[in-house]
Amino acid sequence: MNTISALIRRRPVLTYFTLVILISWTGGAVVVGPGNFPLDWERFEQLGGAFYGVSIAGPVVAGLLLTGLLDGRRGLRELRVRLGKWRVGASWYGLALLPAVVMAATLLALSPGSWDSIPSIFTSGEKVRAAWMGAAVGLVFGLEELGWTGFAVPRLRVRHGILATSMMVGLVWGAWHFPLFWQSDSFSSIVPLSLLLVRLFSWLPAFRTLLVWIYDRTGSLLLPMLMHGCVSAVSVVLVSTGLSGGDLWAVTLAWPLMMWLLVGALATTSHGHLERIKVRGVPA
């Protein structure tokens, strides 16, 4: 037991990443059944809510558990303080909403391409239900940041810059999404596999850079949760379930392009540097 405790203290972020994958993927396999991946649409309608719930439990439970184990009550109190830090100025809330606004504008700009690419909320007869679903998904998915930003990011920022921290968390974050994006034809040929890899690793590291940046500048855990939740809500409400072929590739490639352009814009306004401060007071 002492050896395990020493290993956790020596490699807290690696331990966190391992626990996240273990909890989320194992929980998903239990809910869905190990022989039922990838989920088809019928099974997703039956089990999708529980599947997403146990997936999101991974980063949240792992973050809270390791915070309590490594830093005790002091660490949990400090986490609560960061979560409750909301007086940061209206401009920061505007920046937190910006990725969702850009994503929504991009999706709407692409929607005239064909009937299949028109967002579902405009073609569905249950617009209110779709809006509520988007809000609920945004709220739940924003909770992920209790772990990613609440635990992993501050520890990595002690020794690494914003971009390096974002790439490390972003790549693991992308891999963590694998069961959520896995489809029946993902490994059937090079094109579906390429689509899967692009969806996992192209825009998530860029978006993670924005999340790390706004946390680094404000010290508020609430703002990354808001940013994450709003982007998730937009993706649910405005992405058509009928996308395929060129329309699917257009949306898939537009997201990372827009996110990396936002990262570039932030770097430009910061005179070529995303960095400003090192997050202190958190054990490495």
Lowest average pLDDT, out of 44-53, 139-148, 177-186, goes to 44-53
Reduced to 3 states, what is the DSSP secondary structure of residue 275? Answer: coil
Read off the pLDDT of residues 88-122 as tens digits, 9 standing for 90 and up: 999 999 999 999 999 988 888 876 555 455 555 55
Lowest average pLDDT, out of 77-81, 99-103, 125-129, 175-179, goes to 125-129
Range of the domain at 105: 2-269
* Of residues 243 and 171, more confidently modeled: 171
Residue 281 lies in a domain: no
Closest by alpha carbon to 148, among 4, 5, 278, 19?
Answer: 19
Residue 150 in contact with residue 79, Cβ under 8 Å? Answer: yes
- pTM above 0.85? yes
CA distance 222 to 195: 32
Instruction: Domain count for the chain, please give it.
Output: 1
For the beta carbon of residue 65, count every other beta carbon within 10 angstroms: 16
User: What does the CA dihedral 60, 175, 276, 138 come to, rounded to 10 degrees?
Assistant: -50
Residue 282 lies in a domain: no
Residue 275 lies in a domain: no
Across the range 12-40, mean pLDDT stands at 89
Across the range 37-46, mean pLDDT stands at 76
The tokens describing 69, both together, are 């184990």
Residue 274 lies in a domain: no
